[in-house]
Amino acid sequence: MRGAGPVGQTLPGWRPAAFNQGWVYRDRVAAGQSGQLLSAWLAARYRHSSAATWRQRLQSGELGLNGRLLQGDVEVAAGDRIRWHRPAWVEPAIPEHWQTLHDDGDVLVINKPSGLPVMPAGGFLVHTLSHQLVLWSREQGEPLAPKPVHRLGRFTSGLLVCARRPESRAWLSRLLRDSTADGAASACRKVYRALTEPLPPDWPLGESREVTVAIGRHPHPLLGEIWCAADPSVATALPSRSSFTLLERRPESCLVEVAIATGRPHQIRIHAAAIGAPLAGDPLYRPGGGASDQSLPGEGGYHLHAHRVRLACPDGGLLELEAPLPEPLRDQARLNSIRREK
């Protein structure tokens, strides 16, 4: 993974990998789950660790039940309160800086670098954009820290919308989740660029094709569940819509522009895979839209960039922004022309 490494080793412009202060996780045993050993209950609920690993954590004094510290395995009953004090762990290195593209005192839009997680998850707690925004706001003397309105994957770069006021976040979140990609007058339009594996040879340059593959949760051995392409007849499947435009063919990949009309988890990665052309270098999603059993959503290797956005703001204004493209996602013919002119 880009940027990850041992404590003390880091790339220029990156915050070094470092220990955090640990975290306390809380959960509750649901009805119908009584009689299981706690280690088995935890292993079934949190697939990242085996029952043997949970027993080791019990013996280390990391787990509590109903306010009582445990030293060994016990049977659980419905309603039991579980507490896991996860010891400090090393968080991978992250980019230290981002580019501010818009800030009106409420709405903040940044150009997020690839490699920076937006929210705490997995191995990240404080090495996240949300935590860095809190620190940045304190340095600025601001009473309200901007909070992300939506997510971008750790290795997805580009436009990320944040807001300080809770009502603004609610407005923008709804708009970004249920936007429409059609028509110049739409309240929200989100356009990405990506590199995919080669698209079918009968797909002409400049042609747009719509993808409406539903997205839903599927079992995954490392996470329990993961978002993948889904059968639309399943009640929990989410309708999803993207429009892919072929911009350029390269020897081993295609440059595409993607306008998304819905904001589902990993939508572009899943839709690209569903049409048989996963994002180039994506270790997770496979042709057809399924996921590898050996990979996780936070692993990198692909190029995906939130390039342009148009938003109807809470104050009635219209915001249109563009994040500069990373070099791998620029039109090579145009780049070569510019280089020749220089």
DSSP string, 21-50: --EEEEEEPPTT-TTSBHHHHHHHH-TTS-
Across 293-302, b (16+ Cβ under 10 Å) vs e yields eebbbbbbeb
Listed residues 32, 59, 87: the one ending a domain: 87
Listed residues 302, 318, 336: the one ending a domain: 302
pLDDT of residue 317: 83
Give dist(CA 283, CA 296) in Å, integer. Answer: 8
pLDDT of residue 177: 72
- Give the mean pLDDT of 45-53: 91
Alpha helices per DSSP H over the chain: 38-45, 51-59, 129-140, 166-177, 267-274, 332-341
Structure confidence by residue, pLDDT tens digits, 213-253: 999 999 988 888 899 999 999 988 999 999 999 999 999 99
> For the chain, how many structural domains are there in total?
2
Give dist(CA 101, CA 135) in Å, integer. Answer: 19
Q: In degrees rounded to 5, what are phi and psi of residue 223?
A: -115, -15
Give dist(CA 257, CA 245) in Å, integer. Answer: 5
pLDDT of residue 222: 84
Please state which of the ranges 51-55, 181-185, 268-272, 300-304 shows the lowest mean pLDDT. 181-185
- Give the mean pLDDT of 36-48: 93
- Give the mean pLDDT of 153-178: 91
- Give the mean pLDDT of 247-275: 96
Does residue 46 form part of some domain? yes
Tell me if 243 sits within 8 A of 259, measured CB to CB. yes
The sign of the torsion formed by the CA atoms of 292, 297, 302, 303 equals positive
The model carries a pTM of 0.87
- The residue that leads in pLDDT, 80 or 219, is 80
In this structure, which amino acid lies at residue 42? Answer: L
Q: What is the pLDDT confidence band of residue 188, given thresholds at 50, 70 and 90?
A: confident
Look up residue 115 and give its two tokens. Answer: 């490699």
Q: What is the pLDDT confidence band of residue 12, given thresholds at 50, 70 and 90?
A: confident
Three-state DSSP state, 328? helix
185 and 295 inside one domain:
yes
Q: How much of the chain, in percent, has pLDDT values that exceed 70?
A: 91
Does residue 154 form part of some domain? no
Q: In degrees rounded to 5, what are phi and psi of residue 311?
A: -130, 135
**Is pLDDT above 60 for 150?**
yes
Give dist(CA 138, CA 129) in Å, integer. Answer: 14
Does residue 276 form part of some domain? yes
**Is pLDDT above 80 for 56?**
yes
**Is pLDDT above 60 for 339?**
no
Does residue 141 form part of some domain? no
- Give the mean pLDDT of 70-87: 97
Q: Which domain holds residue 295?
A: 179-302
- Give the mean pLDDT of 135-149: 94
Does residue 222 form part of some domain? yes
Please state which of the ranges 118-132, 178-192, 289-303 shows the lowest mean pLDDT. 178-192
Tell me if 117 sits within 8 A of 94, measured CB to CB. yes
- Give the mean pLDDT of 159-182: 83
**Is pLDDT above 70 for 85?**
yes
**Is pLDDT above 70 for 340?**
no
Does residue 94 form part of some domain? no
Listed residues 87, 112, 133: the one ending a domain: 87
Does residue 97 form part of some domain? no
Place of tokens 């909070």: 147
List the CATH number of the domain containing 255. Answer: 3.30.2350.10
Q: In degrees rounded to 5, what are phi and psi of residue 111?
A: -100, 100
Q: What is the pLDDT confidence band of residue 335, given thresholds at 50, 70 and 90?
A: low
- Mean pLDDT, the chain, as a whole number? 90
List the CATH number of the domain containing 49. Answer: 3.10.290.10
**Is pLDDT above 80 for 275?**
yes
**Is pLDDT above 50 for 7?**
no
Structure confidence by residue, pLDDT tens digits, 308-318: 999 888 778 88
- Give the mean pLDDT of 274-295: 96
Does residue 184 form part of some domain? yes
Give dist(CA 93, CA 56) in Å, integer. Answer: 28
In this structure, which amino acid lies at residue 45? Answer: R
